[in-house]
Amino acid sequence: MKRATLRDIAQSLGVTVATVSRALKNYPDISATTKQTVLATAERMHYAPHPLAVKLRQKSYRVVGVVVPDIVHPFFSDVISGIIEVVEALGYHVILSQSNESYEKEIRVTQMLLATGVDGLLVCLSNETVDVGHLRALQDYDLPVVLFDKINSGLDASTVVTNDFQGAYDAVTHLLDQGYTRVAHIKGPPHPENTRQRFAGYRAALAAYGLPFRPEYVGECHAVTHSEGVTFARQFMALPEPPDSLFAVTDSVAIGAITALREGGWRVPQDMAVIGFSDWAVCQLMEPSISSVAQPGYEIGRRASELLLREIQQLRDEQPLEHDHLVLDATIKIRQSSQRPAIR
């Protein structure tokens, strides 16, 4: 029989999970009537605290679990550096795992990290993740979870993200301010909030400049890869009226698009300007150098870690968790690939 969770009891009584948790811990701010009702319901539903959650309260573990889609990705490498900087300074260790952008693997690795007895989790959701029930279940075991970069509003948790909307808006207006009027966009999958925000920023910039949205100028990635950048750039070049500029959802997609453009005999930026997102170090080394929207990966890692460690301490002090939602600024790095050549 499936073991009842705090959430099951809360739903049965029509109260919050926090109320159930505080009632079971005999907090003085919960009325005697509510405590009796919660205790009776917990007994009727055969609730028992998860043994690992009990161990966490009894012993001072010092381990933080981190789940990212790709450990060697330049952006996530920066995030991980920021995480380690904060948690190791306070005597914690880090267990890293990657989902490979797979929802099923994300479930497996988060359950594995729970089983190892981590104090809390820092998670960047996979591109496939829509249902966050697996993370909600971990919270029911009194395991704090903080989301970063790719988040889901369906989970009541602290979050740290880049201002993806503003970054995309600024990238597209940079192109429009130079006189480009046919701006294409290679967007990300429909589920991740960050790629949705980048698409929204793209559309908002067009609208602000009175330009129509042209569906033929938009390609949607499935896996957000270099090869998809190649594919969509070729499609754009084959249009009766090709775009004159391109905003790509990531730098890998932008590099793929530039590869295809050059193979097709197009010059960047003379025939098509290109700007990416994330600002990988390689953008400065390419020829032409690639314009991009820089994300503060290191700072995202630091701030997410600070939020998680605060929640771990709140849990140890038997205080209700306080969630924050931080949005960090993105900045445009203008290089050769998006600058309109001077007319001579």
Q: Which two tokens stand for residue 81?
A: 């550096």
CA distances (Å), origin 146, targets 123, 159, 178: 6, 6, 40
CA distances (Å), origin 230, targets 50, 97, 169, 330: 49, 30, 23, 26
pLDDT of residue 1: 46
* CATH fold group of domain 6-49: 434 Repressor (Amino-terminal Domain) (1.10.260)
Using a 10 angstrom Cβ sphere, with 0-12 exposed, 13-18 middle and 19 or more buried, the burial of residue 212 is: exposed
CA distances (Å), origin 58, targets 41, 51, 54, 244: 25, 11, 6, 62
pLDDT of residue 140: 84
Query: Residue holding tokens 């309260």?
Result: 57
Superfamily per CATH, domain 63-162+297-328: Response regulator (3.40.50.2300)
Low-confidence ranges of the chain (pLDDT < 70): 1-3, 49-61, 342-344
Residue 298 gets which letter from DSSP?
Answer: H
pLDDT of residue 55: 53
63-162+297-328 and 164-295+332-338 in the same fold:
yes
Supply angle C-alpha 43, 53, 67, rounded to 5: 130
| pTM for this model (two decimals) | 0.82
CATH 3.30.460.80 for domain 164-295+332-338, yes or no, is no
Domains of the chain by residue range: 6-49, 63-162+297-328, 164-295+332-338
pLDDT more than 70, % of the chain: 94
CA nearest 11: which of 140, 98, 113? 140
Using a 10 angstrom Cβ sphere, with 0-12 exposed, 13-18 middle and 19 or more buried, the burial of residue 300 is: buried
Residue 341 gets which letter from DSSP?
Answer: P
